[in-house]
Structure 1
Amino acid sequence: MVSLDEVFSDFKDYAGFDEEYEVSVNSKAADGKTPLHWMAVLGDHHGVALLLTAGAGINKSDHEGATPLHDAVLSRQTLVVEILVLAGADLNIQNFAGLTPMELALNDGFQPCVEFLTKFLINLK
């Protein structure tokens, strides 16, 4: 299983930070992505859970307005989508293109994400 130090080290490489740079749970890369965005894209559900436990901002957006949930949907990381939604990710946040995570899933046509998000939204009513 991945440790928080390993997550930070991977994020530091992704972000191109100097070796001495101190990465924290909500550090942002030049594109505005946080370690949680990065783990969501990779589909690392252990890293996602670890970051959430450590206080990662679940609804922090990058420079395109995308939250980790948007990134997980676009990367077709269904398990990460489920973890983020069940942890309280806001399903109504629109990226700068005006799209919510559900709209991204529908546009992509990736049924596992569409089905989970649909069931979750139905259960909210």
Structure 2
Amino acid sequence: MTTFLEADDELKRTLGFLPDDEALDKQSETRMTSALTAAEIYVQNAVGQNIDFYQKEDVKPLYKIACFAIAANLFNHPSSATSSTTASTIIGQMRGAYDLYLEKEQQNGSTSESGSTEPGN
């Protein structure tokens, strides 16, 4: 599993912290990073493993929003977190786009080596 998003100022603001917020201690930053990693793994397992897909300009913003929505739930409700409606909707859109991406890759004969090309694996 490859993750590439970072717990940056945008994620901190999503979680209600200002970039230099004194309430944001090292433990919270570690939890934030762990929640984001878990969110990326969740989205990739739900959509597909081909990392090149998530780097596409039209997909990357959707991927980031879905991951941030899941990370926020995991961060704020660690013992009872579930995927948000926002994340579920975006994941559904990304599944369709991923299937089209795989079809184009197979038609071009250029299936990526960077991960499995099976949806949902």
Same fold (TM over 0.5): no
TM-score normalised by the chain length of structure 1: 0.28
Answer with 1 or 2: which has the greater Rg: 2
Question: Per chain length, whose mean CA-contact separation is higher, i.e. which structure has more relative contact order (CA < 8 Å, sep 6+)?
Answer: 2
